[in-house]
C-alpha cells in the first residue's frame, strides 16, 4: 500500500445506491398565521423548483397561489 500512497477519499466512502428515496429532502410546512392548521411534513426531491412546491401546496390546502407565501427557516 505504501508504494501507491494513501487511498483516495472517494474509495473510503460507501456509495449509496442511486435511488429516488436517497435524493429526497424532508420539508415541514408550518402555518404561523393559521393556528388550526397542523404542520405538514413531505419528502420532496432536491431538484424541485419553488413553483412546483407552490402548486403542491395549492392542491393540498385549496388556497389561491396569491395567498401562498413561502419562507425558509433552518433548524440550526
Predicted confidence at residue 23, as pLDDT, reads: 80
pTM: 0.64
DSSP per-residue letters across 14-59: PPPP--GGGGEEEEEE--TT-TTSPPEEEEEETT--HHHHHHHHHH
The per-residue pLDDT for range 53-67, each reduced to its tens digit, is 999 999 998 988 888
Residues across the chain: 76
Amino acid at each position: 500500500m505504501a508504494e501507491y500512497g494513501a487511498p483516495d477519499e472517494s474509495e473510503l466512502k460507501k456509495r449509496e445506491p442511486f435511488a429516488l428515496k436517497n435524493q429526497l429532502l424532508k420539508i415541514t410546512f408550518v402555518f404561523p398565521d393559521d393556528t388550526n392548521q397542523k404542520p405538514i411534513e413531505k419528502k420532496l426531491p432536491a431538484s424541485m423548483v419553488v413553483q412546483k412546491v407552490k402548486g403542491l401546496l395549492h392542491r393540498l390546502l385549496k388556497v389561491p397561489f396569491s395567498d401562498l407565501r413561502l419562507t425558509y427557516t433552518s433548524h440550526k
